[in-house]
Amino acid sequence: MSEIVITNPANFDAPRPTIPLPRGPIPAAPPKIARRSIDIKIDGQAISVPEGSTILDAAKELGIETPTLCYLESLTPVNVCRVCVVELEGSRTLVPACSRKVEPNMSIKTDSERVRLSRRIVLEFLASSVDLSTAPNMREYMDRYDAHPERFGETRATVAQPIKIDNDLYVRDYSKCVLCYKCVEACGVDAQNTFAIAVAGRGFSARIATEFDVPLPDSACVYCGNCIGVCPTGALMFKSEYDMRQAGTWDEARQTQTDTICPYCGVGCDLTVHQQDGKIVRVTSPLDHSVTHGNLCIKGRFGWQYVQIQPADPPEE
């Protein structure tokens, strides 16, 4: 067997494999530019937050709970659901807390009559047009704002439509879609950059669609499942979860979550494994993990099936 000789033999000052290298300085990222503090008032309480923060960030710091739907910390705010609107002194209209950056001396009300009315009506608009049965947060918000979607009558337009099951991994039930744009962002520039889906059409018939509504297997979809990961209403669902729900066996109370590392490539993605009754039922990833930011690929998201194969299964001959 040959020697390891990767260095120039004429050179005496090269590293030698048998001798450990000395420690160098601890590397650091370039220092971040310090952000100045901005003083604002929310519901009469003064607070100082770094420049670039949103009203939502500031409200959170004060412990004020703001309902959100289309907002997710790992995605660019699109501020389309308008359920987070607040009253900003001097502004003609209400402003979205999730995306409006703080400015010096802003004075904000998060629970005024105007705010409550808009939030209530936005919730009523959504709940009257969309099936929110698998969106637990929404139920809570509707109670809080005393929303009564049924008041728009029986003949109101809804987005009800047949469920789309065109592959073994995902189910798409657009009757539950609130058009929050999150899946489009996750499939697009905010994570996956595959752009298999986009918002198509306009107005009340605007919808999430592949080109010409082709089935997912004909589309650009790579089944990373990152759209499912961000869907707030269960419109996009793992087939494994959907099947259990259909069979009546889905029970989140019986589920636990454990983090591990994906068994496939070397990137080191954190998997949060959800198990029920000793079986893996779905896999997600934490939004705050520096490697994944909540995103996975098809193998990480769906490649765990092999764990469920019982050794009792006869070997395939």
Query: Which position among 204, 246, 249, 255 is part of the footprint of other proteins (CB under 8 A)?
Result: 204
Q: What angle do CA 184, 174, 85 make, to 5 degrees?
A: 60
Give phi and psi for 177, each to the nearest 5: -90, 125
Query: Which position among 32, 34, 36, 205 is part of the footprint of other proteins (CB under 8 A)?
Result: 205
Could you give the 3-state DSSP secondary structure of residue 260? strand
Dihedral of CA 149/153/159/163: which sign?
positive
Of 45 and 291, nearer to other proteins (C-beta) is 291
- The two counts, helices (H) then strands (E), for the chain are 7, 12
Instruction: Report if residue 32 touches other proteins, rule: CB under 8 A.
Output: no
Shortest distance in whole angstroms from residue 222 CB to other proteins: 6
Within 60-119, the residues that bind other proteins by CB under 8 A are 79-83, 85, 93-94, 96, 99-101, 114, 117-118
| Euclidean distance between CA atoms 50 and 214, whole angstroms | 46
Of 45 and 308, nearer to other proteins (C-beta) is 308
Of 137 and 194, nearer to other proteins (C-beta) is 194
> Identity (one letter) of the amino acid at 259?
D
Question: In three state form, how does the secondary structure of 27-48 look?
Answer: CCCCCCCCCCEEEEEECCEEEE
| Euclidean distance between CA atoms 23 and 239, whole angstroms | 50
> 238 and 172 in contact (C-beta within 8 Å)?
no
Of 13 and 63, nearer to other proteins (C-beta) is 13
- Of 41-49, 133-141, 242-250, 305-313, the window that binds other proteins (rule: CB under 8 A) is 305-313
Within 232-291, the residues that bind other proteins by CB under 8 A are 258-271, 273, 275, 278-280, 289-291
Within 108-167, the residues that bind other proteins by CB under 8 A are 114, 117-118, 121-122, 125-126, 128-129, 151-153, 155-157, 167
Of 134 and 192, nearer to other proteins (C-beta) is 192
- Of 38-46, 135-143, 243-251, 299-307, the window that binds other proteins (rule: CB under 8 A) is 299-307
| Euclidean distance between CA atoms 123 and 263, whole angstroms | 42
Q: What angle do CA 236, 226, 244 make, to 5 degrees?
A: 40
Number of residues engaging other proteins in binding (CB under 8 A): 132
| Euclidean distance between CA atoms 317 and 314, whole angstroms | 9
With CA atoms as reference, report the closest residue to 198 among 222, 232, 227. Answer: 227
- H runs (alpha helix) in the chain: 55-61, 113-129, 136-144, 182-187, 226-230, 239-247, 298-302
Give the contact letters, 172-201, x = binds to other proteins (CB under 8 A), - = no: ------xx--------xx-xxxxxxxxxxx
Instruction: Report if residue 31 touches other proteins, rule: CB under 8 A.
Output: no
Shortest distance in whole angstroms from residue 22 CB to other proteins: 4
Instruction: Report if residue 40 touches other proteins, rule: CB under 8 A.
Output: no
Instruction: Report if residue 33 touches other proteins, rule: CB under 8 A.
Output: no
Query: Which position among 209, 243, 245, 287 is part of the footprint of other proteins (CB under 8 A)?
Result: 209
Query: Which position among 33, 34, 253, 309 is part of the footprint of other proteins (CB under 8 A)?
Result: 309
Shortest distance in whole angstroms from residue 46 CB to other proteins: 23
